[in-house]
Amino acid sequence: MPERIAVLHLAMNPVTGPWAVMKQVAQAQAAHAELFAGVGIGLILRHDWPEVNWQEAKALPISLYTTAAPRGPGTWVTLYQRLVKPPLRRWVEDLRQKTGASQVVVHCHNAWLSGVFAPLRIPRTALVCTFHGMAAVWEGKPIRKAIHHWIAQRLVRHNITLTSVDAVNLPGYREVFDIDESRFQVVPNGVNASRVRACPCLRDPGRPFTVGFVSALDEGKGWRYAAEAVIKLAEEGLNVRLLLAGLRQSACDLESYQQRQPDRIDYRGFISNPRENIMGECDVLTLMSAREGLPMVILEAMSVGLPVIATAVGGIPEAVGDGETGFLVPRNADDLADRLRRLYHDRAMLAAMHAASLKRFEQFYDIEATVSRYHRVYLAALKAGGQN
């Protein structure tokens, strides 16, 4: 029988993708008592962490540990954790006492910034750090870039076990942080299955063809391309609408698009558990990102049979089969509108992509496979030692 260990998922102010990953993995691990003696979540939080995330965290049926981070720029807040350490030892020992586990893995989800926690120097404890992609930009910021490089190199210096949610970003980590690709183990994200089924226009052809966008409304995620494409199709006379869900950024000028087509753009704000609450209303999901890892929103879409139209960045091409489960397109509204138009008129193609998405999810992205892979990573990290 495999050795039962305890796991503490750790992150500084996790939002969107990393927070979704932590929740999914932690809950799935807690359901496997034969592998895990117990699971906890440790959060180092800024004052502006979304209230809805707080409610989700408190509702999780696992141990929750929190401490406050100071106000200030993100890089400074990260360095502060090196100067004034969070109570990780106390959290680990409390989890060990609650679960009876002799060994604990601290699984950090802050990618290269996890280097501020290395080495842990906590007996019978290993540190595992997951890279979820690289959205940071340091052009014209040499000092900031040098600080992040120094933090990342701490992971190498202390021989920390590293995982990545995709293989595509590994060359970027080598180029920016001098972390060799061979140091990473690739563990794709996963999600649990759902009874929700998307593509309602297949069941009711009279419904508007609904394009979904579920992410932060910022320029990096490409919400504007979705709005422009839907407006273009609406002006052609197609019965389409755009459903937006996510936190708005300060520079978001959503109203200007809503004024052009007030009945075609539906903004719902931040939605907790969007897969269960709104994806069933959508016929296609779009994510026109400039940078990504392996977005959880795409895996959630596939789990309900929702075709995805996205840019071919990060780990997205590993998940989205172009022409099979969706389309990979250049980052512009015209190409996006072209693929949406094809699916609007060809419902047989939409139905085929709906079925293929469900099948691909079941084969590659069910959370059970993620749980098994991480368990193997944890055991190897504990056996390797040398991290404390």
CATH code assigned to 200-365: 3.40.50.2000
Neighbours of 76 (CB within 10 A): 12
Q: How many CA atoms lie within 13 A of 326 on its CB side?
A: 32
Fold match, 5-192+366-384 / 200-365: yes
**Rounded to an integer, what distance in angstroms lies between the CA atom of residue 73 and that of residue 188?**
30
Neighbours of 205 (CB within 10 A): 10
**Rounded to an integer, what distance in angstroms lies between the CA atom of residue 262 and that of residue 256?**
10
CA Rg value for the chain: 21
Number of helical H runs and strand E runs in the chain = 14, 13
Give residue 381's pLDDT: 96
Contacts of 323 (CB under 8 A, 6+ apart): none
For the stretch 63-101, pLDDT in tens is 999 999 999 888 999 999 999 999 999 999 999 999 999
**Rounded to an integer, what distance in angstroms lies between the CA atom of residue 290 and that of residue 284?**
19
Q: Is the pLDDT of residue 113 over 80?
A: yes
Indicate the pLDDT class of residue 1, thresholds 50, 70 and 90: low
User: What percent of the chain has pLDDT above 70?
Assistant: 97
**Strands 36-45 and 5-12: what pairing?**
parallel
For the stretch 133-170, pLDDT in tens is 876 667 788 999 999 999 999 999 999 999 999 888 89
Give residue 248's pLDDT: 84
Q: Is the pLDDT of residue 386 over 50?
A: no
CATH code assigned to 5-192+366-384: 3.40.50.2000
Q: In what order do the strands lie in the sheet with 125-131?
A: 63-68, 36-45, 5-12, 104-108, 125-131, 161-164, 184-186
Indicate the pLDDT class of residue 171, thresholds 50, 70 and 90: very high
Indicate the pLDDT class of residue 318, thresholds 50, 70 and 90: confident
For the stretch 324-382, pLDDT in tens is 999 999 999 999 999 999 999 999 999 999 999 999 999 889 999 999 999 999 999 99
For the stretch 248-300, pLDDT in tens is 876 678 888 888 888 899 999 988 889 999 999 999 999 999 988 888 899 99
User: What percent of the chain has pLDDT above 90?
Assistant: 75
Domain boundaries, the chain: 5-192+366-384, 200-365
Q: How many CA atoms lie within 13 A of 368 on its CB side?
A: 4
